[in-house]
A and B are shown apart, each in its own frame.
Chain A
């Protein structure tokens, strides 16, 4: 009811109407997808020879890219959160670049970097390493497009850790690493989980950069989004089933993001 006191009622009503319109637009396509798909189609889709390999490639590559992002991204996020230098602010903007750059551009840029005529391609080739059109290419594309989500959430979470608390831990005899793992990580954990889930969801959905840089090969580089793209050419129903599965996985992720951290915290929260 606070809103009605701050804003005149007609404005609130128009605002509500706009919101309802947008919510409808956001939700309707997914409702339509669920409602219009018969169970028999679902079963046929899951049994399709394209499905299991694509799901496997998707899970394998997205878990790998998530692990890489967490290992490489956590120290970076900690530095971004604690440093007051202008270099940190510049890096922070750079890290966000993949969010605003279209994935197709990332794909082209990756080819220009690791491709045979790319910047690093020839030297890698001389070492016997060839990245494009491999599972490694899928993972690289996913790391680039998804890591900003992890780093951002992670840095925000670390900002909630008061430097004083770490100092107190140190004065109580904790080593710096113990202070970090026993004090900083638990405080930041809900934020870290949100970051990891967003990052995984983004990696799971990666399409444009993968298509250009890793190609589309069933069983090797064909992830579920690419399988949807290929299935669309053969049988729309198949594409719908693949889409439903991906939407379901992502929804479960989202629900996990929103509720698991609050469940963890709520018993300790003091009454307000």
Chain B
């Protein structure tokens, strides 16, 4: 048993070394493939409809550049970039996530891509009978965002603004009706589309893009303007293509597409 055991150990070590050698090249090949990977754009959920159209338009002018878009809540995209995700362009639905990435040296200086305002959406049958912002307290179930997702933070500002005009009881009443805090605006909208929530606050383009919800405007005095910022990341693989894409995003063509979806173009 003892001599056999020693031989076994040596064979095992050799096998292990062979295995590591075999695995090593496999890894580096995968890395080299990165050169031909598409330009990776990380965009907030609220741009789920507009971004593919922007990319198609961009692709017409630059047929050689393949673009791949990932959608999620801006806070999740930020986290992924901080953790080393291969993003070339980052669009954030608010300033704070972009600033945090810029402070960490993950993105270059950001520029404004678009703005939009917030609206209320209700299911088409509108069982709670919500006709205006002040009726939010009629809702039995409201769905909102977490404090970290931009839509959650903006909604919070709207409610705080409202409490200045309508009193803090109004805001307390509305907050009491929030049954879930979602991580992106499309998940919020889905709950209203399903009729599971009586009302929610979303960006105007999200309301316009769905034929299963009704849009109710939020009065100017409570509303906020959401700022959508865009920046190139510190990743260098696609630096020139990323610049081309950013240039396109500040073009009149891009602004027209954004406007058609309910955003206000860069300005």
Contacts and interface: CB of A to CB of B under 8 A. Distances in A.
Interface string B1-34: 0000000100110011001000000000000000
Contact of B180 (A17, A116, A215): A215
B261 interface: no
Contact of B146 (A13, A116, A233): A233
A178 interface: no
A35 interface: no
Contact of B149 (A132, A215, A220, A233): A233
B79 interface: yes
A68 interface: no
A115 B146 contact: no
Contacts, number: 69
A133 B181 contact: no
Interface in B38-54: none
Contacts of A21: 19
B143 A215 contact: yes
A124 interface: no
A232 interface: yes
A216 to B, nearest CB: 5
Interface in B49-99: 73, 75-76, 79, 82-83
Interface in A208-255: 214-218, 220-221, 229-230, 232-234, 236
B15 A13 contact: yes
A16 interface: yes
B194 A17 contact: no
Interface in B129-169: 140-141, 143, 146-149
A221 B180 contact: yes
B182 interface: yes
A233 B12 contact: no
B126 to A, nearest CB: 12
B84 to A, nearest CB: 12
A219 to B, nearest CB: 11
> Which of A17, A111, A116, A221 counts the most B-chain CB atoms under 10 A from its CB?
A116
Nearest to A14: B15
A117 interface: yes
Instruction: Give the most central of A133, A229, A232: most B CB within 10 Å.
Output: A133
B8 to A, nearest CB: 8
B15 A17 contact: yes
Contacts of B179: 133, 215, 217, 220-221
A215 B182 CA distance: 7
Contacts of A232: 76, 79
B183 interface: yes
A234 B181 CA distance: 14
Given A215-B179, A230-B146, A233-B149, A116 B195 contact: yes
Contact of B148 (A13, A115, A220, A234): A234
A233 B75 contact: yes
Given A13-B12, A215-B143, A233-B149, A115 B194 contact: yes
Interface in B220-249: none
Contact of A13 (B11, B141, B181): B11
A115 B75 contact: no
23 contacts: A13-B8, A16-B12, A17-B12, A21-B19, A115-B195, A116-B194, A117-B194, A117-B195, A130-B140, A132-B196, A133-B141, A133-B196, A215-B143, A215-B182, A215-B191, A216-B180, A217-B179, A217-B180, A230-B183, A233-B146, A233-B149, A234-B147, A236-B82
Interface of A: 13-14, 16-17, 21, 111, 115-117, 130, 132-133, 214-218, 220-221, 229-230, 232-234, 236
Given A116-B195, A133-B196, A230-B181, 14 more contacts: A13-B12, A16-B12, A21-B19, A111-B196, A115-B195, A117-B195, A215-B182, A216-B146, A216-B181, A216-B183, A220-B179, A221-B179, A230-B183, A234-B75
